[in-house]
Amino acid sequence: MTTPFDLSGKHLLITGASSGIGRATAVLCAALGAKLTINGRNTDRLNQTLQSLDGEGHSVMCCDLTDYDKTAELVKNIEKLDGAVFCTGTQKTCVAKCLDRGTVNSLFETNFTATVNLNTLLFENKKINKGASLVFISSIAALGYAEVGNAAYGATKGALTAFAKVLALENVKRKIRVNTVSPAMVRTPLLEKFDVSEEQFAENEKKYPLGYGNPEDVAAAVAFLLSDGAKWITGTDLKLDGGLTLQ
């Protein structure tokens, strides 16, 4: 039985695929039949992802996307894409009144500027096929959900969400769809960057009617947006928050 959610025959680029949401997305998309080019900074972890993928023909693009010269060089060698998932990101908490230029610039460089640069290179080199689907991983921090210490991070994700909406509008003639997904708390290695105890995490999770999410929950939403089952969806943000903002 055929399904509109099958990704067979599609070539996808997934950034940040060495761990967390990026890795889970790569594993699921490969299981659904896609051929992948996966990106990450850590060669060992990226190869671990590669070894966990179903199917054949997958390739690795190992580089730090903030290295613009290296990124430009690698993009020239990528086969044309039917979709891309931009998962690269980092987190740092700091109360707004203590933010300094270095912290802000670093977060924007990784979470926004490097991704925008990669997107530009893909279009300039004509690597995005007509009818492709692009998905950007944003955050509920971009949607007005305020948490202490999240000002700069939320600003980077807000910029990414705004960018994606304009990109969607500018590419409708080629039927290229552009959407974002905005998760709340997901159990990824990024949680280790928080100076928070397990007890504090457990207390915070009580705010979520469905509990914290897992990378696989986000991957499923991304795979849907990449599929032909979402061919009438563009310029949309899909909020994944386990019911957090219902209350």
The residues that are catalytic are 153
Q: Rounded to whole angstroms, what are the CA distances from 145 to 15, 46, 121, 139, 180?
A: 25, 32, 32, 9, 16
Residue among 174, 182, 104 at smallest CA distance from 137: 182
Quote the DSSP letter at residue 192. G
Burial class (CB in 10 A: 0-12, 13-18, 19+), 144: exposed
Quote the DSSP letter at residue 213. B
149 touches 116 (CB < 8 A): no
Helix or strand (DSSP H, E) at 70: helix 68-75
55/74 Cα distance (integer angstroms): 23
Quote the DSSP letter at residue 190. G
Report the C-alpha dihedral over residues 95, 162, 5, 81, rounded to 10 degrees.
Answer: -110
The one-letter amino acid code at 110 reads T
